[in-house]
Amino acid sequence: MAAVTERRQPEMVGEATFAGLAQPGIRALKAYDPGHDLVALRRRFGTERLVELGANENPYGPSPAARQAALEALETAHRYPDPLGGGLKRALAERLGVAPAQLLLGNGSHELLMQFAQVFAGPDAAVAMSQYGFAVYALAAQAAGAPLQFAPAWAPDVAMPRGHAPDALASVVSARTRLLYLANPNNPTGTWIAADALAALLARLPDEVIVVVDEAYAEFADAPDYRSALSLLPRHRNLVVTRTFSKAYALAGLRVGYAVADAGLVAVMERLRESFNANSVALAAATAALEDEAHLQRVVSANAQQRPLLAEALRARGCFVHPSQTNFLLAGFGEEEAATAVEVGLLQRGVVVRPMAGYGLPQCLRITVGTADENRRLLQALDEILK
């Protein structure tokens, strides 16, 4: 009978050891912070009691047509999805007035934002972005090992507080710059660049700089001076517009986004795109959601009604509320200690908002515009804390 040998557990190796084996851009990289552990909070408070206002999600839910399409798509879940996403691309092309070859699909727009840096940035190809821009832009640059060029935002006491300053963005672009990220409207400030100012900025930038205008919240924008950068695509072959079905279309859990750009640029990006990166359920639901214009308008109208009401209520309680063209508000509480106390107090009462210290705004909280009932519960909890 063979002797029984004792199995030894492999020796544990620290994270630092493996980090030393990683590429230079990854070694100092910190993972994207998604915020609170919402799964644990749902278990603690229950889904009916928990008010989730920290992730800029759509509180009204997806189109019934999108739900039905998703269920039907499950019947063929044993088959691979359309690798080209042809149905969704055709629907988007018709809606946006572009060619299908100008569209690139992603597992959410987050994936695409990271991939643009993989393709176009690197140690000798810098990335430019504005102060208080979306955190993923800096992560994308660092992962690619690219220098990051920060443009200072507007001061907090101007008409567009902490918003993108076009002149500052143009001034940081140098001969090394290959990629510029710009969210319009911006996350986390909610601010926006007016149509004329955006057009003037694009006209100033070299053709060799790929400009990615992230329009994740464009459907919520209704300011008279706001206009999507899609209208500028024919004039700028270096322009990319990214959008998502996670926000206004309420498909955050299915992860589908897209980019619109020159067909030649899209063709280069397709070389990196992962096979089947948009799954069958997401493709079906997004296509159906796009066709349900009435549901989208109900969502947008409800947000447009609740956003100013919530902003005014927060101002009445002493908050500094930034102007917003999104489905969230950036609220300032004066000092970091005050913002932290409010955030902790809200969490204890089952209301989740997003602290902003990671964006260099520790005195601020980002608050999703919820339903009328969710906003009422937020304000009731805030009143208890402020007492």
- Inter-residue contact 144 to 173 (CB < 8 Å): no
Distances from the Cα of 282 to the Cα of 147, 153, 187, 256, 317, angstroms: 35, 36, 24, 6, 41
Assess whether pLDDT exceeds 90 at residue 33.
no
Q: What is the mean pLDDT of residues 33-42?
A: 72
Predicted pLDDT of residue 11? 63
Binned at pLDDT 50, 70 and 90, residue 6 comes out as: low
Tell which of 291, 324, 358 closes a domain: 291
Give me the sign of the Cα torsion angle 222, 224, 229, 234.
positive
pLDDT of residue 47: 67
Q: Are residues 283 and 364 in the same domain?
A: no
Q: Is the domain of 243 the same as that of 302?
A: no
The CATH number of the domain where 216 resides is what? 3.40.640.10
Regarding whether 204 and 101 lie in a shared domain, the answer is yes
State the pLDDT at residue 209: 98
How much is the pLDDT for 279? 96
Q: Does the CA dihedral 76-82-83-87 come out positive or negative?
A: negative
pLDDT per residue as tens digits for the range 93-109:
999 999 999 999 999 99
State the SS3 of 78-127. CCCCCCCCHHHHHHHHHHHCCCHHHEEEECHHHHHHHHHHHHHCECCEEE
Task: Note whether residue 17 is domain-resident.
Answer: no
User: Phi/psi of residue 335, each to 5°?
Assistant: -130, 155
What distance lies between CA 159 and its chain's CA centroid? 24
End-to-end CA distance of the chain: 77
Average pLDDT over residues 333-345: 96
Report residue 221 as tokens.
């924008």
Per-residue confidence at 4, pLDDT binned at 50, 70, 90? low
Q: What is the pLDDT of residues 161-214, one digit of tens each?
A: 999 999 999 999 999 999 999 999 999 999 999 999 999 999 999 999 999 999
Q: Are residues 208 and 271 in the same domain?
A: yes
Q: Do residues 270 and 316 share a domain?
A: no
Same-domain pairing of 169 and 279: yes
What share of the chain in percent tops pLDDT 90?
86
- Check pLDDT > 90 for residue 19: no
Tens digit of each residue's pLDDT (9 = 90 or more) over 212-258: 999 999 999 999 999 999 999 999 999 999 999 999 999 999 999 99
Q: What confidence tens digit (pLDDT) does each residue in 65-79 have?
A: 999 999 999 999 999
Report whether 312 contacts 381 (CB < 8 A). no
CA of residue 97 relative to chain centroid, distance: 24
- DSSP reduced 3-state for 247: coil
Per-residue confidence (pLDDT) for residue 139, from 0 to 100: 95
pLDDT computed for residue 175 by the predictor: 96
Q: What is the CATH classification number for the domain harbouring 367?
A: 3.90.1150.10
Same domain, 373 and 235: no
CB < 8 Å & 24+ apart, contacts of 100-103: 101/263, 101/266, 101/267, 102/233, 102/260, 102/261, 102/262, 102/263, 102/266, 103/258, 103/259, 103/260, 103/266
Give the global pTM: 0.91
Q: Is the pLDDT of residue 51 over 60?
A: yes
In a domain, 12, yes or no: no
Reply yes or no on whether the pLDDT at 1 is more than 60: no
Q: 5 CB contacts (<8 Å, ≥6 apart)?
A: none
- The answer, yes or no, to whether residue 291 has pLDDT greater than 70, is yes
The pLDDT score that the predictor gives to residue 39 is 72
Q: Would you say how long the chain is, in residues? A: 387
Domain end, chosen from 268, 291, 314, is at 291
- If you average pLDDT over residues 8-23, what whole number do you get? 73
Residue 24 lies in a domain: no
Same domain assignment for residues 68 and 55: no
275/331 same-domain check: no
The DSSP H or E segment spanning 181 is: strand 177-183
The two three-digit tokens of residue 226, written as one number: 């706001």
Q: Is residue 26 part of a domain?
A: no
Residue 50 lies in a domain: yes
Give me the domain span that covers residue 147. 64-291
Flag whether 7 is in a domain.
no
Instruction: Assess whether 52 and 140 both reside in one domain.
Output: no
Residue 131 sits in the same domain as residue 274: yes
281 backbone dihedrals φ, ψ, rounded to 5°: -65, -45
Residue 318 region by backbone torsions, left for phi larger than 0, else alpha for psi between -120 and 50, else beta? left
Structurally, how many domains does the chain consist of?
Answer: 2
Q: For residue 286, give every residue at least 6 positions away whose Cβ sits within 8 Å of its Cβ, in sequence order, or none.
A: 66, 88, 245, 249, 251, 254, 256
Q: Cα-flanking dihedrals φ and ψ of residue 320, to 5°?
A: -90, 115
Q: Are residues 287 and 298 in the same domain?
A: no
In a domain, 127, yes or no: yes
Question: 8 in a domain, yes or no?
Answer: no
**Domain-ending residue, one of 291, 313, 331:** 291
